[in-house]
Amino acid sequence: MDEKKTIFSGVQPSGNITLGNYLGAIKNWVNLQEEYRCIYAMMDLHAITVRQNPQELRKRTLDLLKIYIACGIDPEKSLLFIQSQVPHHAQLAWVLNCYTYMGELSRMTQFKDKSSKHADNINAGLFTYPVLMASDILLYQADLVPVGKDQMQHIEITRDIAERFNGVYCQEGNPVFKIPEGFMPKAGAKVMSLTEPTKKMSKSDENPKAYISLLDDLSVIEKKIKSAVTDSEGVIEYRPDDDAKAGINNLLTIMSAVTGKDIDKIVAEYQGKGYGDFKKDVAEAVVEEIRPIRARYDELSNDKQYLVDICEKGAIEASKIAGRTLSKVYKKVGFVQ
Ligand code: TRP
């Protein structure tokens, strides 16, 4: 038996993958590959809870795969697949919908946010989105789910649904679902918008200056950082609870995540220096971090067959694992097999 714990996570191919996605998630996933059995997916079923342009969705899904690999996720070590290519996700989601209450789904902050943003399209999928996410995680008997803070509520509901199902159908000590835990890797930085630094950097922000896409031109990245909103105090200090300092806090967080240096150390290095110098150095550090990722990404763009092969192999392997869980579930609920 494989004794490594299983990690499951994924990103929706619904916008530009940002520096925030990279520093907050993907960069840390790379480090987890040695110690854990890692499964990372492209969550296209989730993406259609808000309207997507079909050509763009298709392109972004493969772009996301290229980004995963370019950032250092090794398809030989980690299982990579496209969610819609493994039918078990939608199948389990239906079953679990019948074990999830309207009341608990109504309390999800992300639902409330997204339904106010997309008031013209508050569809049932948006409402049951956490059930699909629960299915993603539970199918693979994941132990750990690295996610950002905004997704922790979805992990909680996943645990509740799993416990409820186990409670109805399983004997003590022989559960169908492993109860997963969410975790925020220590190094996982929460990167904020460059124009409104009290808001999270979002890949669907209307203002492209607010975020850095991993696919932006390097010169654009440099410019965006150099024009990031700061304050007029002129002191490089980290004051995480002071909103007036949010811009500088954010640049310090980014610098720390990219260089691996503690924030305190960076602050000490910049004592007496101005924002201009600091921004220039942050811009350079970020550009140098992204440069090799971009080179690898461009290389992968010329090798479509390689990507298709990874998806095919990934879907087959994922289906095997997911199929085992789904058939236990079907048996428990009383479907003829
Ligand atoms: N909801 C997650 C997000 O928006 C993406 C996601 C879908 C996910 N299914 C998942 C993350 C399962 C972790 C595990 O970021």
Inter-residue contact 18 to 211 (CB < 8 Å): yes
Choice among 115-119, 122-126, 183-187, 320-324 with the minimum mean pLDDT: 183-187
Average pLDDT over residues 248-273: 95
- Test site for ligand 1: of 7, 43, 79, most ligand atoms within 8 A of the Cβ: 43
Average pLDDT over residues 84-93: 98
Amino acid in position 247? G
Q: Is residue 272 part of a domain?
A: yes
Report the pLDDT value the prediction gives residue 117, as an integer from 0 to 100. Answer: 87
Q: How far is the CA of 10 from the centre of ligand 1 (A)?
A: 5
Q: Which two tokens stand for residue 320?
A: 């095997």
Report the pLDDT value the prediction gives residue 2, as an integer from 0 to 100. Answer: 60
Closest-CA residue, ligand 1 atom 5, reads 11
3-state secondary structure the chain: CCCCCEEEEEECCCCCCEHHHHHHHHHHHHHHCCCCEEEEEECHHHHCCCCCCHHHHHHHHHHHHHHHHHCCCCCCCCEEEEHHHCCHHHHHHHHHHCCCCHHHHHCCHHHHHHHHHCCCCCCHHHHHHHHHHHHHHHHCCCCEEECCHHHHHHHHHHHHHHHHHHHHHCCCCCCCCCCCEEECCCCCCCCECCCCCCCECCCCCCCHHHCCECCCCHHHHHHHHHCCCCCCCCCCCCCCCCHHHHHHHHHHHHHHHHHCCCHHHHHHHCCCCCHHHHHHHHHHHHHHHHHHHHHHHHHHHCCHHHHHHHHHHHHHHHHHHHHHHHHHHHHHHCCCC
What's the CATH number where 93 sits? 3.40.50.620
Average pLDDT over residues 123-133: 97
Same domain, 282 and 151: no
Report residue 148's pLDDT band, with 50, 70 and 90 as the boundaries.
confident
Same domain, 63 and 182: yes
Same domain, 314 and 274: no
How far is it, in rounded angstroms, from Cα 75 to Cα 39?
A: 10
Same domain, 275 and 310: no
Report the pLDDT value the prediction gives residue 1, as an integer from 0 to 100. Answer: 54
Query: What would you report as the CA-atom Rg of the chain, rounded to the nearest whole angstrom?
Result: 21
Same domain, 184 and 255: no
Average pLDDT over residues 187-192: 79
Active site residues: 114, 200, 203
Same domain, 78 and 133: yes
Number of folded domains that form the chain: 2
- Test site for ligand 1: of 42, 48, 64, 136, most ligand atoms within 8 A of the Cβ: 136
How far is it, in rounded angstroms, from Cα 264 to Cα 236?
A: 11
Report the pLDDT value the prediction gives residue 109, as an integer from 0 to 100. Answer: 93
Q: Is residue 205 part of a domain?
A: no
CA distances from 127 to 43, 92, 103, 121 (A): 16, 16, 11, 11
**pLDDT above 60 for 131:** yes
Q: How far is the CA of 245 from the centre of ligand 1 (A)?
A: 30
Report the pLDDT value the prediction gives residue 188, as an integer from 0 to 100. Answer: 66
Choice among 172-186, 210-224, 248-262 with the minimum mean pLDDT: 172-186
Q: Is residue 204 part of a domain?
A: no
Report residue 187's pLDDT band, with 50, 70 and 90 as the boundaries.
low
Report residue 123's pLDDT band, with 50, 70 and 90 as the boundaries.
very high
Same domain, 49 and 111: yes
Q: Is residue 309 part of a domain?
A: yes
Q: Is residue 195 part of a domain?
A: no
Report the pLDDT value the prediction gives residue 174, as an integer from 0 to 100. Answer: 92
Same domain, 147 and 165: yes
Q: Is residue 196 part of a domain?
A: no
**Domain with 104 in it:** 6-189+304-333
Q: Does this model's pTM top 0.85?
A: yes
Same domain, 287 and 323: no
Q: Is residue 203 part of a domain?
A: no
**pLDDT above 70 for 165:** yes
CA distances from 208 to 66, 97, 113, 275 (A): 22, 37, 20, 22
Report residue 209's pLDDT band, with 50, 70 and 90 as the boundaries.
very high
Q: What is the pLDDT of residues 2-36, one digit of tens each?
A: 689 999 999 999 888 999 999 988 998 999 999 99
Same domain, 11 and 156: yes
What's the CATH number where 260 sits? 1.10.240.10
Q: How far is the CA of 272 from the centre of ligand 1 (A)?
A: 42
Same domain, 180 and 99: yes
Q: Is residue 317 part of a domain?
A: yes
Residue 295's contacts (CB-CB under 8 Å, 6 or more residues apart) are none
Same domain, 246 and 182: no
